[in-house]
Amino acid sequence: MASRNLSRFSSFGKKIIGIGKNYSEHAKEMGSSVPSEPVVFLKPTTAYLTEGNPILLPLNNDVDHEVELGVVIGKPGKDISESSAMSHVGGYVLALDMSNRTRQAQSKNAGLPWALSKGFDTSCPVSKFLDLSQVPDPHSVQLWLKVNGVERQNGNTADMVFKIPTLISYLSCHMTLEEGDLILTGTPKGVGPVKHGDVVECGLGDIVSMTFNAEDRK
């Protein structure tokens, strides 16, 4: 695996590509079947949030937490093969894919895109950038999340349906991947609501953790 130091990224200013239902137990808890190819959505760059700033809950206040491993693209590419895909990874972040469930259910039922349910401001809290040496095996790390100190999610990236090389190859056949793009690789089971005043703490094994307060947006 190429070793590039991309710790110069203080934020990941490029597009955020979300992958849905990439853990079978989470697909099951959502009442969905396991997809036969990756389910893809986008979040705008205004979704990024760093520690020290609150998650602003949208007005209908029905937001779930989803803790995820984020893959940061370090080398641009199009039509990337699975065998070369990992050489395009520049590093990782711990990420939250905050999701407005009421709106998402409305969109699903109407056959409409998830953009508003997934893309509201502050819907993508991220940790500091982790370079490749900090996550030597991205397919074997624990993802955990607590709300107000109570565990809600605890899963392992080994259980991803589509592994990182498959995701990179698949996505790059549809859109050019740019340096600084972030791929959210899906969440394990245990998603649940976050309300005003809640404290959300999550981690990637003992590699990194982050904490965010949630507030109703004004």
Ligand X SMILES: CC(=O)CC(=O)C(=O)O
**Binding interface with ligand X (CB under 6 A):** 18, 20-22, 26, 30, 66, 97, 99, 186-187
Residue 185 contact, options ligand X, Mg ion, none, Cβ 5-8 Å cut-off depending on partner type: none
| Binding piece for Mg ion, criterion CB under 5 A, among 84-92, 124-132, 134-142, 186-194 | 186-194
Do 11 and 45 meet the contact criterion of CB atoms below 8 Å apart?
Answer: no
Q: Is 64 in the site for Mg ion (CB under 5 A)?
A: no
CB of 75 to ligand X, least distance (A): 25
DSSP string covering 42-62: EE-GGGEEETTS-EEE-TT--
Q: Which is nearer to Mg ion, 19 or 80 (CB)?
A: 19
User: Quick check: helix, strand or coil at residue 74?
Assistant: coil
Instruction: Tell me: does residue 181 bind Mg ion (CB under 5 A).
Output: no
Question: What is the nearest approach in angstroms of ligand X to the Cβ of residue 87?
Answer: 25
Residue 30 near which of Mg ion, ligand X, none (CB within 5-8 Å, type-dependent): ligand X
Kindly tell me which residue out of 74, 187, 202, 212 binds Mg ion, with binding defined by CB under 5 A: 187
CA-nearest of 197, 143, 173 to 23 is 143
Query: Half-sphere exposure of residue 18, counting CA atoms within 13 Å on the CB side?
Result: 26
| SS3 at position 190 | coil
Asked if 59 contacts 191 with a C-beta cutoff of 8 angstroms, the reply is: no
Size of the site for Mg ion (CB under 5 A): 3
Q: Is residue 177 within 8 Å of 78, Cβ to Cβ?
A: yes
Nearer to ligand X, 99 or 172 (CB): 99
